[in-house]
Amino acid sequence: MATAATCESASVRRSWDMQSAAIVAFVCVASKFPHRVILLKMSREEFLHLEHVNVARGDNVVLHDVALRVAVGQHIAILGPNGCGKSTLIKTITCECYPLVEPQTVKLIYGRERWDVNALRKHLGVVNADLPGRQTRKCTGLEAVVSGFFSSSAIWPNLHATDDMRAAAQEALRRLEATHLESKIVGEMSAGEQRRVMIGRALVHQPQMLLLDEPSNALDLFAQHELRDTLRRLAREGIGLIMVTHHLPDIIPEIARVVMMRDGRIVADGAKAELLTVVRLGSLFGVQLELHQRDGYYHVA
């Protein structure tokens, strides 16, 4: 009987020198798709390596035999309908959920099995789908970004923010072209401005990878456009993006790889141009649709 594992699962022993090795990974998407083999040429450090990962929530197994490898700096979109397991996969990557202990299970982040969640945040920035909570809404934009150093909702009296932290927060806002939000109260910002501040919070440690969960949620059309421009700039700067979404226009042109999920399984993993088709998307979402492409973006009707 499998039991929940921690990030230090003893099922795998891999050395830290993976980060300096050239990795060529042949990944079979699933045994039911033996014809679909993808070559990932990972000449850089490997960010994520999952093999035979099963995750339970309560009494139900909600992720089934997941295999996924991502190199540092790579841009990928994880696409699927609501309830397909995307959120659980996010929590597995961020060490908030843990795989069942099974002999063949592999879960490595930067080649390591064990991570303190706060330490991981220095390497992986996470932008949740939700807009800022009640306490964060009372902060200024700069305070909200600085709070990322403490993984807190605000800068509480027992927390000491240094000048270096404030300088790093200012730099994060500068990269996002959002320095005008430093002194503005978060609760008085538009949804698009709040999202930009939350991205700044995730960037404050200057991580190599950024994970975004449904980033365009609650944003109007103008804010969505600004968000995508922001993400394109970050991608061109070399930050790897993991975009988790069910909304095709979130997949910016710089994202070349798409992972499709349904019913807790990865059902396809490959080049964007090969997977974003009428047939594939219709099967994934269970609807008939029309697909249009313009300026590197995909839209459905």
Per-residue pLDDT tens over the stretch 240-280: 999 999 999 999 999 999 999 999 999 999 999 999 999 99
Predicted pLDDT of residue 131: 77
pLDDT-derived band at 78, boundaries 50, 70, 90: very high
pLDDT-derived band at 153, boundaries 50, 70, 90: confident
Q: At residue 282, does pLDDT exceed 70? A: yes
φ, ψ (nearest 5 deg) of residue 86: -60, -45
Query: In the chain, which residue ranges form alpha helices assigned H by DSSP?
Result: 86-93, 117-120, 141-146, 163-175, 191-203, 221-237, 272-275, 278-285
Q: Which residues touch 291 (CB under 8 Å, ≥6 apart)? A: 276, 277, 278, 281, 298, 299, 300, 301
pLDDT-derived band at 44, boundaries 50, 70, 90: low
pLDDT-derived band at 169, boundaries 50, 70, 90: very high
Predicted pLDDT of residue 130: 83
Q: At residue 40, does pLDDT exceed 60? A: no
Of 16-30, 31-45, 123-137, 246-260, the range with the lowest mean pLDDT is: 16-30
Range 79-101 average pLDDT: 93
pLDDT-derived band at 190, boundaries 50, 70, 90: very high
Range 271-293 average pLDDT: 96
pTM of structure: 0.82
